[in-house]
A and B are shown apart, each in its own frame.
Chain A
Amino acid sequence: GQSLEQPSEVTAVEGAIVQINCTYQTSGFYGLSWYQQHDGGAPTFLSYNALDGLEETGRFSSFLSRSDSYGYLLLQELQMKDSASYFCAVRDGGATNKLIFGTGTLLAVQP
Chain B
Amino acid sequence: DAGVIQSPRHEVTEMGQEVTLRCKPISGHDYLFWYRQTMMRGLELLIYFNNNVPIDDSGMPEDRFSAKMPNASFSTLKIQPSEPRDSAVYFCASRGASGYGYTFGSGTRLTVV
List the one stretch of A18-26, A38-46, A74-82 in contact with chain B.
Answer: A38-46
Q: Which 9 A-B pairs have the closest CB atoms?
A: A45-B101, A42-B104, A48-B100, A101-B43, A43-B104, A42-B106, A103-B42, A97-B31, A42-B107
A70 to chain B, nearest CB (A): 19
Using CB atoms, name the residue of chain A closest to B103.
A45
Grouping DSSP codes into helix (H, G, I), strand (E, B) and loop, the B interface class, with mixed when no group exceeds half, is strand
Q: Is A99 located at the chain interface by the 8 A CB criterion?
A: yes
Contact A100 B102 (CB under 8 A): no
Size class of the A contact interface (CB-based, 8 Å): 10 to 19
Residues of chain A contacted by B107 (CB below 8 angstroms)? 42
Can you list 18 A-B pairs with a CB-CB distance of less than 8 A? A42-B106, A42-B107, A43-B43, A43-B102, A45-B100, A45-B102, A50-B100, A87-B43, A96-B56, A97-B31, A97-B50, A98-B48, A98-B56, A99-B33, A100-B45, A102-B42, A103-B42, A104-B42
Q: Is B22 located at the chain interface by the 8 A CB criterion?
A: no
Question: What total of chain B residues lie within 8 Å of the partner, measured CB to CB?
Answer: 20
Residues of chain B contacted by A42 (CB below 8 angstroms)? 91, 104-107
B86 to chain A, nearest CB (A): 19
Grouping DSSP codes into helix (H, G, I), strand (E, B) and loop, the A interface class, with mixed when no group exceeds half, is loop
Using CB atoms, name the residue of chain B closest to A99.
B102
Contact B106 A33 (CB under 8 A): no
Residues of chain B contacted by A43 (CB below 8 angstroms)? 43, 91, 93, 102, 104
Q: CB-CB contacts of B64-105 with A at 8 A, as 1s and 0s?
A: 000000000000000000000000000101010000111111
Bound Cα distance from A97 to B31, whole angstroms? 9
Bound Cα distance from A87 to B43, whole angstroms? 9
